[in-house]
Structure 1
Amino acid sequence: MQPRWLSAQELRAWRAYRGLSLVLEDTLDQQLRHESGLSHLNYSVLVFLSEAPERRLRMTDLAEQLKIARTRLSYTIGRMEEDGWVRREDSPGDKRGQLAVLTYAGMAALEDAAPGHVAIVRAAVFDRLTPEQAQAFGEACEIILAGLTGPERPALPADLPWRR
């Protein structure tokens, strides 16, 4: 069976996305590291914990929200514990589960980093798009993400990262 090659338009879109994803992630990471001493992953951990009830999440749920492997999250949380931004607690009622908990120092680090992060996201992405383009961009991202994580996702040799 012949592969279904990308059309010229699809190839152009794919290459633009690929370049964008690499450069945007690097831009966000550099800005956060320079201004706040946080990596983009650390910042994302702090955001999800700050939005969670009682500022705590099961580690498996946090890995799913971050779309990363549990081993990577465990390592990241360990480093963040050393900095005093988070702590781990045993999950009540589940002897195997652990919770990641945002500390006051972690909340302060997030509050310090958020204005600069939002400014770079706005400048890099949303100030360059019309409201209609921003809406279409968000919808396209949601559709693609659902296709990669939902019941119709491609069959791959390994499960989703947060289930590994």
Structure 2
Amino acid sequence: MKALRVEKFYAFWGQDLDTSTTPLECGRSWRVKFDKGINFIGRDALLRQREEGIKRIYVQLLLNDHDPDIELWSWGGEPIYRNKKYVGATTTTSYGFTFKKQVCLGFVQNIDNLGNTHPVTNEYVMAGEYEVEIAGIRYPAKVNINSPNLPTKYPDKERESYFATRDKMVSEPLLRH
């Protein structure tokens, strides 16, 4: 089950997400009802974060050039590099049987040379070249910010049924199913 959830980019409370993670950082802001006029705890902080931009974002990384039969596997907590510069760490990892490669989930940041964090955008994430370091060896990785399309028996039904990782993928007609 863990391998399947990592492949589908499903976050796990206590391992990927905790009390310091906001819905905006992990792509679940569509679950927050800002437009209902209800003043819930943390609403002002989320609105401020939405306006100023998030400082970290939840991503999925598919390791390339990693041979799972002979090389060490990641366990979580491995450094993530963007354009050769440290930007975050993995939270959960697993072998992806559908992808036939190691899959890592984690958070990345936009950190300047002075160590200051800046807002992270989807464009920033997708424009970089990523690596994940396992036991001192850096492996190139393809980054995803959306759930990947996995092979399925019923593609028209299953691919439209659950969009857990990004706001732009949810549409009103799908929510009525």
**Greater relative CO (CA pairs within 8 A, separation 6+):** 2
Does TM, normalized by the shorter one, top 0.5?
no
More helix by share: 1
Greater Rg over alpha carbons, structure: 1
More strand by share: 2
Question: Under a length normalisation based on structure 1, what TM-score does the superposition of the two structures give?
Answer: 0.32
Question: Under a length normalisation based on structure 2, what TM-score does the superposition of the two structures give?
Answer: 0.30
